[in-house]
Amino acid sequence: MISLFVDRERELGILEREWKGVPSFVVVYGRRRVGKTRLLVEFSRGRKVFFHTFTEGTKENQIKVIREELAEFYGDDIFLSFNDWYPLFKYLASKIEEKTLIVLDEFTYAVKSDRSILSALQRAWDHELSKKSIMLVLSGSLMGMMVDDVLSYSSPLYGRRTAGFMLRPLNLFNSVRFFDDFRNGLESYMLIGGVPAYLSIAARYSDVNQLVENEFLSPEGFFYDEPYIILSQELRKLKVYFSILAAMAEGRERPGEIATYVGVEGRRIYPYLETLIRLGFVERQLPVARKEKRGLYRIKDPMLLTWFSIVHPNRTEIELGILSPENAKERLQKVFSRRYEEVSKEFLIELNQVDGLPFRFTKIGRWWHKNEEIDLVALNEEERKVLFVEVKWKELSEREARGVLKDLKRKAGLVGLESWEKSCGLIAKRVEGKEALRDEGWLVWDLKDLERLISFKSKI
């Protein structure tokens, strides 16, 4: 296992630009464990920085802790006399005489305790702090609070920030850099996604089955209670939200199906779905190349998909110690199959960027109509070119691959792009005879091609 600070060049570039343009006010947000603090620690190296991380607690305790840290930082006990936010921030401004980075990490915990900190900081920024050579950075993990209380139009801080971004999980091509073995890295990424803290846990294991057994299917495992920690911080009515996510993990993707599973009236499900989308846990998909207003809903977060697929339905057996990993194997394979579609989408996007496809697509997604579905459809509407791709988390013989491609060609004819230039492809674990299929004009890839592209990208 290797400890890495991976990627983040774009985000570091934004922070560097803001440092050069002080005074500046930057907001960084993202889900727990995605690497916000690590990013800001890396950026702060070599700079004069006051770095404070808020924790859960009362306003009084939070002020006590930060004023003590400021007193030590500046060697000034006057900070210890302040009991409210605005006088504290005002006096802080008077102490800034040289270019300084101020990081208020996990700022949403302070907002949660006392929303007046927003108005106090706005007032201090407008009248004192913005007159100084300062780069102020607020970061937070409570996504709903960051969006509603810090970034929204109704926030006292609205219009003050000079830059901001949501720190997202790493993509496949950076996530596998945590692992010595490509296959192990790929399968771990499919189960837990690109959250660096999760990847560091997974990289301890040379076999993904051990990861599942020890960290998901054990009451002492890292991921066993992780969904409760994440969701309880953001949401009320946990029972409803857990039921919604369980329904999606079972394959119920239409709002009506989800509502029936949860036991609520159909139209009442939409506010819950919108909340889950806003927080990044769920996504709404519309079919590509087809006008359709009614979308399907899927769990977007890989760790939550894995947990609700293999842990949630087996909690009793796990607690009693009577669940063997084999009992969860079938459900786990469904997770791999579903997630391999997302991995394949990432693969095609990377190929698109290096001109590794017959054309440059501008849109990619699923297609479905009635009982027919195509895993991935990539198209360029201006050039009227389209690529249809089936994804199989299986090792296929040449005969099986031909059968998949033949059926894909049939389904492609149902999409309705008669005058378009069409290409058909297949992505699987392994495809026997793929060179022969390529010679016939089919586009065929397997895990060796993914590994080759990742190796190529790492050398750029």
The domain that holds 84 is classified in CATH as: 3.40.50.300
Question: Does the residue 455 lie in any domain?
Answer: yes
Whether residue 193 sits in one domain with residue 160: no
pLDDT in tens, 385-417: 999 999 999 999 999 999 999 999 999 999 989
> At which of 140, 166, 192 does a domain end?
166
The pLDDT value given to residue 1: 37
- Banded pLDDT at 458 (limits 50, 70, 90): low
pTM score > 0.75 for this model? yes
* Burial class (CB within 10 angstroms; exposed 0-12, middle 13-18, buried 19+) of 111: buried
Domain of residue 44 covers 9-166
Q: Are residues 24 and 138 in the same domain?
A: yes
Residue 103 lies in a domain: yes
How far apart CA 7 and CA 264 sit, in angstroms, is 43
Query: Residue 287 — φ and ψ, nearest 5°?
Result: -70, 135
Least confident of 91-100, 151-160, 167-176, 316-325: 316-325
Indicate the number of domains in the chain: 3
**Same domain, yes or no: 143 and 226:** no
Q: Do 196 and 265 belong to one domain?
A: yes
pLDDT at 367 over 70: yes
Tell whether 105 is covered by a domain: yes
Q: Which of 295, 311, 337 is a domain's end point?
A: 337
Q: What is the pLDDT of residues 177-204, one digit of tens each?
A: 999 999 999 999 999 999 999 999 999 9
Tokens (6 digits) for 424: 């058909």
Which of 131, 166, 201 is the last residue before a domain boundary?
166
Q: Are residues 227 and 271 in the same domain?
A: yes
- CATH number, residue 446: 3.40.1350.10
Same domain, 59 and 111: yes
* Gyration radius (Cα) of the chain, Å: 25
Over pLDDT 70: what percentage of the chain?
Answer: 98
446 and 318, same domain (yes or no): no
- The sheet with strand 363-369 has its strands ordered as 363-369, 372-380, 385-396, 421-431, 443-445
Q: Are residues 245 and 144 in the same domain?
A: no
What pLDDT does residue 130 have? 96
Q: Do 161 and 23 contact (CB within 8 A), yes or no?
A: no
Half-sphere exposure of 235 (CA within 13 A, CB side): 24
Asked, for residue 4, whether it belongs to a domain, the answer is no
Q: Shortest CA distance to 91 belongs to which of 108, 107, 74, 113? A: 74
3-state class of 378 per DSSP? strand
- Are 330 and 367 in the same domain? no
Question: Which amino acid type is present at position 43?
Answer: F
In a domain, 345, yes or no: no
3 in a structural domain: no
Lowest mean pLDDT among 74-78, 302-306, 311-315, 320-324: 320-324
